[in-house]
Structures are given as C-alpha cells and as structure tokens.
Amino acid sequence: MDSAQAKIFAEGFIGNSVGGWAIDGILGNGKSAVVLSGVRDGVEGAVKIFHPELIERYGRAVQLERINRERQLIGKRHPHLVRILEGGECAATGHLFVVMERLPFKNFHQVGSSIPPENYGTLVSQIASAARFLEDLGLAHRDVKPENIAISDDFSRAILLDLGVLLPIGVSNLTDADQRPFIGTLRYSSPEFLDRKEKDTIEGWRAVTFYQMGAVLHDLLMKKPIFADVSEPFTLLVDAVRGTTPNISGGEPRLMFLARRALVKNPEVRLEMLSWSDFEDAAKPENVDAEARKLSILERQKLARANMSTASLADAERRRLFLQRMDQFAQQLDTRLASILAEAAYFPLRRSDIFEAENDSREIMLSFSADEAKGMEFPLALKFVISNLDDNEGTPQYVIRYSDALSSRAIEASELNHQRTIFKGSEEDLYSSSLLQAVLLETLESYYTKIETGSVAGDAIHFLSAEENGI
C-alpha cells in the first residue's frame, strides 16, 4: 500500500466507527495498515486498521491470529511498552483492527539527532526492560527499530511500539506465514534472523533482540541509520547485514562497547558476551573497581576475537567465490578455444591443460603435435594467462596475456615467458569479438613464416610473438 492508497483508505473512515471507536483523524500509515485516532467512552486510542490487500495476501485467519497475540497483552502493563486496548473484527464493517493507547510523541527515527547523549543510557535500559517484559511472557517482538520506539518530548521516556509481529516463543504449530518468510526490518535484523536460521527458543530470540537493540544504540551514537552507506542496491544491504561490522565511534565509551557487543554477527558469541543486565544497567555509573576493569578488558578482547572471526569468515567466502569465478572463466575460455579450433580445422591435434599460477591467475596451455600433412614439422605451444583486473561491481574485468612458440621438442608452460597483452575487459567483451580467432590465425601465420625463413635450429624455443606489444 503506497501513500496515495493509504490516504484514500484512511479518509474513508473519518466520521465513522470501527469496533465502536469513533474515528476523528489520521495518525499515520505503514505498508499494511493505517493508524487513525479514535474515541470510545471518553478513552482516546490509536486505531490500526489493516488494508484488505494484506488480509487477502496472507489470509484472514493468519491476520486474526496475529491480532489475538496482541490481545493477550490487554490488561498487562509496562511503563515502556505501548498498551493494547482492544482488537479483533469489526462486526459492522468486517475490518480487522487493533487499538493501542494514543501517544502524542514522535519516534526515535524522527528526533534521534536531537536526543541528548546523556539520555542514551536511560532510554536503552527502558527499551530493554520492555523487551524483557515480553520475553517473560513468552513473546518475541521481532522488530525493534527506531521507528518503533516513541520518545517523550523531554527525551526522558521511551515506549516500545508496534506489536504486530509478536511471536510466541517455542510454539511449533504456527501458520506457514510466520514460519518461513522473513518478517521484520532488514536493516535492523541480525544475520541469523535475516536467513531464518534463528533458534526458536528463549535464548535464540533473545539474541535477535539484543542485536536489534544494538542497532538502535548504533543509530543514537552515530546519528545515522546503521549501514546507511550501503542502502542500495538491496543486495549490498543484505551483504552488510551478513558480514560487515559497523563502525561505532565518538560516543560514550561504555555505550559504544555495549553496541559493538550487541552487533556481533554470531548469535552464540553475542549471548556469551551480553545479558539483559548489560542493557538495563546502561544508565548506571561505570564501576571503577579493579576487578571490573579486568573483566571489561577481557570482554573487549573477546569482542576483538569475535569480530576478527566474522571478518575472517567473510574474507574466506569472498576468496572462495573469487577463485571459483577464475576457474569458471578459465574453463569457459578453454571451451571457446576448442570450439574455434574445431571449426577452423587447420590446426593439428592438441592437448589442453589448465594450471593455477601466481597471484591467483590461471593459465591455459595448448600443445600441438607436429603434423607433416599440414606442413607443421615442429610442435607448437600456446599459453593464455588470465588475471583479474577489477571486480567492477559484479561485472569482472580481466586481462589476458599470450605467448606462442615452436621447438623441435616439447615445450613446458614455464618456458613460455615472453608474453604480450591481448585483451582487457569483461567476459562479454571477449566473446562478442573475433579477437581469439584473429590471435590464433596470426600465430599460425607466424609459425609458417618462421619455418620458411629457415631460422629454426636445434632444440631451442623460438617465440612467434613479440613480447608485450600491448593490445
């Protein structure tokens, strides 16, 4: 639902009632619902009405189940959690809705840069207490982010909002709509939650909540959204969530350390380094006891190891994919050369070998037998050396160097060291040109010229191409 659809949908309720709540204004909208101001029996509420398109997509029973989870919180109060007043299906209109207390506050995302740094610790401890309250009830919030945290005008009180994706922890009979797809906000999701590999246990969801609170704290300290510099395209943001450790600097050291631990990629290490008390004590004065200092040092060292492990794994995966790509390109080039030679039919029998070479390059060695019927009385050897020039944002650029020679004896790949650059560009550039055909024909012509001049003697290697003439 875009903003235009939301406006039309919301305006249709003004002056009418939903579930007995008289609608008198528009408070906002999301992708799936509008939030309207309503009054019933003198009580003011924020009435969230779900768009029929969402209900059609996931099914009415699924959405009613989610509303019923929120209804479980009716009558349960926490000073830093939005109160649920009612929810269900409107008997008169058939619309599905949830009513929350109406809060006259903006959210963290809207006013984050104005929040005094000395309040950060208090606000983080309040959010943690609300998330822990839900955990004690066997529920996971799953979408803790700046937009879902209201803050009072004096910046002293935080209230956790939007309970629409609450999940009962450890309940195996949930609908497929909650079991499989990603539900939450990508930017503020932990890697395991993004990939739906979180453990459906108290500890598993606690690890997700800790990460999301760490991301919120990051935004407060850095005064910008986490991974703001890799928002587009979508794949960059996904890669950042999975493998990039965000920079956190310039804030209160203890809070920076808390955020860094919360944003550790491995959930098990995250839980080993953090507990609820770390968040709940964020506003307390720092303990300067010697033992506490030692513990802090050990925790910092553990964090460094955890981040190094994450970086090492990410680097190892990038290298694996790079080497795989180089192998694939070499194999494809070898296949293309074989096709050209088979079609031309004027080269003798050959043997093809692919080698790994220095600096992660790949070498293709083509060894041709002597063939008197073709006037080729000496063996011929060709070598293509492939190197990566640049990754170029997903369109790799390669450089290919080439060497060709003849001799009265077999030639080893290591002996073909007089090379010239014949190509620089992408795989598409190479195969859309006739470069390879031209190079092979030039070599064969040089071969006959060399023989005809009578300059072949003994078992010396006679190079056919000049060394490094460029392309």
**Looking at the predicted structure, is the pLDDT value of residue 272 above 80?**
yes
CA separation for the pair 80, 150 (Å, rounded):
9
pLDDT in tens, 95-144: 999 999 999 999 999 998 899 999 999 999 999 999 999 999 999 999 99
Question: Which stretches within 223-275 are classed as H helix?
Answer: 234-243, 253-262, 267-273
- Reduced to 3 states, what is the DSSP secondary structure of residue 114? helix
pLDDT confidence tier of residue 218, bands split at 50, 70 and 90: very high
**Looking at the predicted structure, is the pLDDT value of residue 186 above 70?**
yes
Angle between helices 253-262 and 290-344 (to 10 degrees): 40
Q: Which amino acid is at 191?
A: P
Count of residues in the chain? 471
pLDDT in tens, 7-19: 999 999 999 999 9
pLDDT in tens, 261-270: 899 899 998 8
CA separation for the pair 161, 165 (Å, rounded):
11
pLDDT confidence tier of residue 469, bands split at 50, 70 and 90: very low
Query: What pLDDT, on the 0 to 100 scale, is given for residue 355?
Result: 93
Task: Provide mean pLDDT across the span 257-261.
Answer: 91
Query: What pLDDT, on the 0 to 100 scale, is given for residue 232?
Result: 83
Task: Identify whether the C-beta of residue 124 lies closer than 8 Å to the C-beta of residue 282.
Answer: yes
Task: Provide mean pLDDT across the span 448-453.
Answer: 88
- Reduced to 3 states, what is the DSSP secondary structure of residue 423? strand
Pairing of strands 84-89, 106-107: unpaired
Mean pLDDT of the chain: 88
Task: Identify whether the C-beta of residue 398 lies closer than 8 Å to the C-beta of residue 329.
Answer: yes
pLDDT confidence tier of residue 234, bands split at 50, 70 and 90: confident
Query: What pLDDT, on the 0 to 100 scale, is given for residue 470?
Result: 39
**Looking at the predicted structure, is the pLDDT value of residue 54 above 50?**
yes
The residue that leads in pLDDT, 137 or 389, is 137
CA distances from 132 to 12, 89, 114, 129, 178 (A): 38, 29, 27, 5, 22
Is the whole-model pTM more than 0.75?
A: no
pLDDT confidence tier of residue 287, bands split at 50, 70 and 90: low
Task: Map 333-349 to HEC letters.
Answer: HHHHHHHHHHHHCCCCC
Question: In which region does residue 63 sit, left (phi positive, over 0), alpha (psi from -120 to 50) or beta (all else)?
Answer: alpha
Cβ neighbors of 241 (< 8 A, separation 6 or more) are 186, 187, 189, 190, 191, 194, 227
pLDDT in tens, 332-387: 999 999 999 988 888 888 899 999 999 999 999 999 999 989 999 899 999 999 99
Q: What are 150's two structure tokens?
A: 């209201």
